[in-house]
Structure 1
Amino acid sequence: MKIYAGDVPQGTKIYVDGVEISRVFYVDTKKGLVRRYRDGLTLDRWRKRVLSESLRGRIIIEFPED
């Protein structure tokens, strides 16, 4: 299941191998892939894009209870 940042309600928690991950903008549970912005919001050397990183592992998504 592919999930993008705007597709989930506020308060959703995403775990990779049991560790909670913040600043996530893309999740693919089938491939075990998470894309997230780095902590501190680092820019590239031309200061045009925010740098991101990919994490792989077992993905758990917890949706907030209503």
Structure 2
Amino acid sequence: MTPKQIDMERVDPGMDSEGTLPSTSSALIGTGEWWSANQMPHPPAFMAEQAMRSFERHHMY
């Protein structure tokens, strides 16, 4: 299996690549903690879809 190549045309050149991973990780972990602490108010598939929409909107994938 080969790693997925990042489409560099969609990467925002103004984003700091060293800061993107920690902030994205914190967002995912924080969302998971919120979801769990609130008795999982949404199905897992919905949460995953929302996360992907956010990443796509902000070119964070």
Task: Place the TM-score, normalised by the shorter chain, in its bin.
Answer: under 0.3
Structure ID, larger Rg? 2
Q: Which has the higher strand share?
A: 1
Give the TM-score normalised by the residue count of structure 2: 0.24
Give the TM-score normalised by the residue count of structure 1: 0.23
Q: Which has the higher contact order (CA 8 A, sep 6+)?
A: 2
